[in-house]
Amino acid sequence: MSLYSQNGYGHMSYGGPSYTQTSGYYQPPAAPAPFYHVDPNTFRRDYASRLAELTINSRPIIQSLSMIAQEYTRFSEIVAQCLEAHIRRVPHWMKLPGLYLLDAISKNVFEPYAREFAPYVIPLFLEAYREVDQNTRSKMEEMLLTWRTGGANGKELFGVVPQVTIERGVWGGDSGQADPTSGFYSGSGQISKSQVLSELEFTLGQKERALQANPYDNVSQNHLNVLQQLRKLVEAGVSQDELRQILNQLRSFSQSTAPPPLAPAPTSTPASTSPSYNGSLYPRPYPPPASYSNQGPPPGFPVPTDRPSYLQQPKTEQVNITSLLPSSQLASSSPSAPVHSAAPISNITNLYNALLKAGVVSASATPTGAGETAKVDESKPEPVDLAKTTSREYRRTILSQKVKLSSAGITKTRPELIHFLYDRLPVQCKQCGIRFADNSVGKKEMQDHLDMHFRQNRKASQNTGRGHSRSWFIGVDDWIHDVSVDVKGKGRTDGHRPLNAKAAAAAMIAKRDAELRALYVVVPPGDEAKPVSCPICKETIKSEFLEDDEDWVWKNATKKDDRIYHATCHAEAVASTNNLLAARLRNELASGSRGGTPEVHSSRSTPPKHGVRSSHSPSPQSKPGGTKRKVENEDASLNAEADGSPPMKKLALES
């Protein structure tokens, strides 16, 4: 730990002494004082458990994890594995902090970490990118842009191929064929609006920070204005050609104005090319490129040609990025001579002027023409639509898989299919491992699921010492007309996962109970102050003022023979005298018991014969003209609310 504390590490510097100009490239500390003796397994467990704490964008946690990685470079492979597993496993809202950590470690301790991460950074980044929300995406795009020059000597942090591939995955472009020689500056291929916009945002961010540092910088102020105009223009919609022009200008502009990487110093100002962590900025951890020149060529940066395994030493290859650039950019992109060149500025101004002349953009900075209607439509979908959309999306993805149902067709390994089982449903119940989608619908389902665990646990603790027993098997009619269908409603995607018939029956009882409780009797004028108690339970019936009707009423009340009863008490009493079953069902469900006489009735191929009105309840009640009817006939007022009649067929099951 002393390694860091003496540097005032905590705030800014990642580097410590090893980043000084004279020591050149990062070297592992000569003799890191281990704060505990570790073997790989212990380290793995320890690091993984610390990683598990990285659930929010916490600067201290990212710093400390980065520090540990720096100290234990001999376990870099383990760090890489843990970090990959962590980012893959966590739900989408936790991905960004993990990626920030990856970003921080590979920039700070470039060797060996960038090399460790390079093999998996492409799928990791792109998969995360696909899952996260728009806001996180733009943060990831910002980070991705810093990776262009985040590596040694201002090169791509993870190499040209990963950089190009990820950028294409994010912004489109030449589909699929990652051709490292074309680089990401290649003018060929489609340029998407979102790509240009995110690069614009990036450059704007740089400018804004520059302006904050130096509020009287007129040049920066001017650039900012031009860039904002451009953003409006692009948002409104411009042609492919114009997008390409803007992008090219933007890149040269941004490259030339990016300040050189800073030497680590506790007092250094935030560098513009690092993504922000939790609002504040990370320092540029690299020694200025100049320091390399004294040392000869910097260590080679790996350009993985394939996906090397962790153990494989990737092929080392020098790529001179400048040779890939259009000649106009050569002067400004040389890392050893960062100049605030005037050329790009005039370029961008020229472009703007040209567009202005062409009438694409008006002097008032409001885009004209067809662009007006091309507003980006990103209205938030309603949860129901979201559920529909996600399940439609799922169906489309499933149908797009090329799997042939034949002995040969199913033997081809397609490990990405695992996506459907794990990554697509990142929200996992810690109790039982069941997964849910990471959207509002999934969260609702997860909440219901956790509530279920809670109720079950509570029931289990209440039931301790009470004997449980195997239930009698379900009858044919109940089995065929699975009650769970009843509560499920129309769509299968409404997120209601029926637990079992018991839960479904409980839901019906609850509904009926709510209906009873909603009943009220208007208090006769003058009786407001008179306490009335329920003849059955002897408790006072609560009165309440109904705003709408401007009446005092007794809640959960019903009037019988001039006496006021609790609606629930009365219903139960009627049921218990005339039909023991309903009350028993209520009690059974309340206690979670399923005991009783095995009267599961088999009346297969026999249509319902007697009058239970619930359409879902073909009654298997054994005695024709069951007592249920009697209840209804005798008690007209109960009749109305008994419409959601107790699930008689469940009675048979439960009793």
Partner 1 sequence: MENEKKTDSREWELDAETEYRFELDPGTSLAIKLVQGQAEVFGTELAEGKQYLFGSECKASVFTWQGCVLEISHPSTEYVSEETPMATYANLHIAFEQMRVRALNAVHGSPNSDDDSDANAEPPRVLVLGPENSGKTTVCKILTNYAVRAGQDWSPLLVNVDTSEGGWSCPGAISAAPVHSPLPTCSPANPLGSAATSAPTALSSNALLPLVYWYGHTETKRNPLLLDRLIRNLGDNVREKYDADPEGRASGIIVDTPSSFASSSSSSSSSDHRHTLIKSCVDAFGINVILVVGHEKLNVEMQRTYGSRLSVVKIPKSGGVVELDHSYRERVHNYQLRTYMYGQVIEAPPGISSATLGGETMTDLVLSPSSVVIGFDDLTIYRIGEESMAPSSALPIGGTRILSEMQPVLIDPAQSGSGLLNAVLALLAPLNPNDSERYDEEILDLNVTGFLIITSLDIQSRKMTILAPNQGSFAGRTAVVGSFEWQDQ
Residue 407 C-beta: closest distance to partner 1, Å: 4
**DSSP H helices in 215-358:** 218-236, 240-257, 290-294, 327-333, 343-357
Residue 380 contact among partner 1, Zn ion, none, beta carbon within 5 to 8 Å by kind = none
In the list 227, 569, 582, 585, the residue contacting Zn ion (rule: CB under 5 A) is 569
First to last CA, the chain: 67
CB 444 within 8 A of CB 390: no
Cα atoms found within 13 Å of the Cα of residue 431, Cβ hemisphere only: 10
- CB proximity list for 332: less than 8 A, separation 6 or greater: 252, 255, 256, 339, 341, 343, 344
Confirm or reject binding of residue 432 to Zn ion (CB under 5 A): yes
Under the criterion CB under 8 A, does residue 383 sit at the interface with partner 1? no
Q: Give the residue, chosen from 1, 8, 17, 45, that forms a contact with partner 1 under the rule CB under 8 A.
A: 45
Residue 562 binds which of partner 1, Zn ion, none (CB < 5-8 A, kind-dependent): none
303 in Cβ contact with 159 (< 8 Å): yes
Q: What does the alpha-carbon distance between residue 344 and residue 347 come to, in Å, rounded to a whole number? A: 5
Residue 502 touching partner 1 (CB under 8 A): yes
Q: Which amino acid is at 375?
A: K
Per CB under 8 A, which region of 261-269, 276-284, 470-478, 574-582 contacts partner 1? 470-478
Residue 587 binding partner 1, by CB under 8 A: no
Write the binding mask 69 to 98 for partner 1: x where contact by CB under 8 A, - elsewhere: ------------xx--x--xx---------
φ/ψ (deg, to 5) at 161: -60, -50
Q: What is the DSSP string of 250-276?
A: HHHHHHHHSPPPPPP-TTPPPPTTSPE
CA–CA gap between residue 79 and residue 85 (Å, rounded) = 10
**42 is a contact residue toward partner 1 (CB under 8 A):** yes
Site for partner 1 in 48-67 (CB under 8 A): 48
Which helix (H) or strand (E) segment is 484 a member of?
A: helix 483-488
> Which tokens sit at 276?
């922000």
Contact 288, 262 (CB under 8 A): yes
- Classify 369 as helix, strand or coil: helix
Q: Does 489 bind partner 1 (CB under 8 A)?
A: no
The yes or no reply on residue 395 touching partner 1 (CB under 8 A) is yes
Name which of 358 and 432 has its Cβ closer to partner 1.
Answer: 432
537 touches, from partner 1, Zn ion, none (C-beta below 5 to 8 Å by class): Zn ion
The two structure tokens encoding residue 73 = 């470079």
Q: Nearer to partner 1 by C-beta: 342 or 417?
A: 417
Q: Please state whether the peptide bond connecting residue 112 to the residue before it is cis, i.e. omega within 30 degrees of 0.
A: yes
325 DSSP 8-state letter? S
* Distance, CA of 452 to CA of 496 (rounded, Å): 12
Q: How far is the CB of 585 from partner 1 (least distance, A)?
A: 14
Work out whether 583 is an interface residue with Zn ion (CB under 5 A). no
425, interface contact from Zn ion, partner 1, none, CB < 5-8 Å by kind: partner 1
x-or-dash string of contact with partner 1, 596-615, rule CB under 8 A: xxxxxxxxxxx---------
Among the listed residues 563, 561, 570, the one whose alpha carbon sits nearest the alpha carbon of residue 519: 570
One residue of 265, 356, 536, 553 binding Zn ion per CB under 5 A: 536
Of 73, 77, 59, nearest in space to 9 by CA: 59
Minimum distance of Zn ion from residue 565's CB (angstroms): 6
CB of 140 to partner 1, least distance (A): 22
H helices of 6-158, in order, are 40-51, 59-71, 76-89, 95-108, 110-131, 134-147
Query: Token pair of 225, please?
Result: 């204005």
* 226 residue type, one letter: V
Rounded least distance, CB 555 to Zn ion, Å? 12
Q: Which does 536 bind (CB under 5 to 8 A by kind): partner 1, Zn ion, none?
A: Zn ion
Q: Which is nearer to partner 1, 41 or 294 (CB)?
A: 41
Q: Which stretch binds partner 1 (CB under 8 A): 96-104, 195-203, 339-347, 472-480?
A: 472-480
Write down the least CB distance from residue 560 to Zn ion, Å: 12
Place of tokens 């397994």: 41
Question: Of Zn ion, partner 1, none, which one does residue 521 interact with (CB within 5 to 8 Å by kind)?
Answer: none
Closer to partner 1 at the Cβ: 151 or 620? 620
Q: Considering CB distances under 5 to 8 angstroms, the limit depending on partner class, which of Zn ion, partner 1, none binds residue 93?
A: none
Judged by CB under 5 A, the stretch of 376-384, 458-466, 559-567, 623-631 that binds Zn ion is 559-567
Instruction: Work out what residue 540 binds among Zn ion, partner 1, none; the CB cut-off runs from 5 to 8 Å by kind.
Output: none
Token representation of residue 31:
């003799």
Q: Which does 420 bind (CB under 5 to 8 A by kind): partner 1, Zn ion, none?
A: partner 1
Least Cβ distance, residue 46 to partner 1 (angstroms)? 9
Give the footprint of partner 1 on residues 399-438 (CB under 8 A). 399-401, 403-407, 409-415, 417-418, 420-422, 424-425, 428-437
Task: Tell me: does residue 537 bind Zn ion (CB under 5 A).
Answer: yes
Partner that binds at residue 552, options partner 1, Zn ion, none, CB closer than 5 to 8 Å by kind: none
CA angle 156, 157, 160 (to 5 degrees): 40
| For partner 1, the closer CB: 438 or 635 | 438
> Cβ contacts of residue 145 below 8 Å, gap of 6+?
198, 199, 202, 273
For Zn ion, the binding residues (CB under 5 A) are 429, 431-432, 434, 534, 536-537, 566, 569
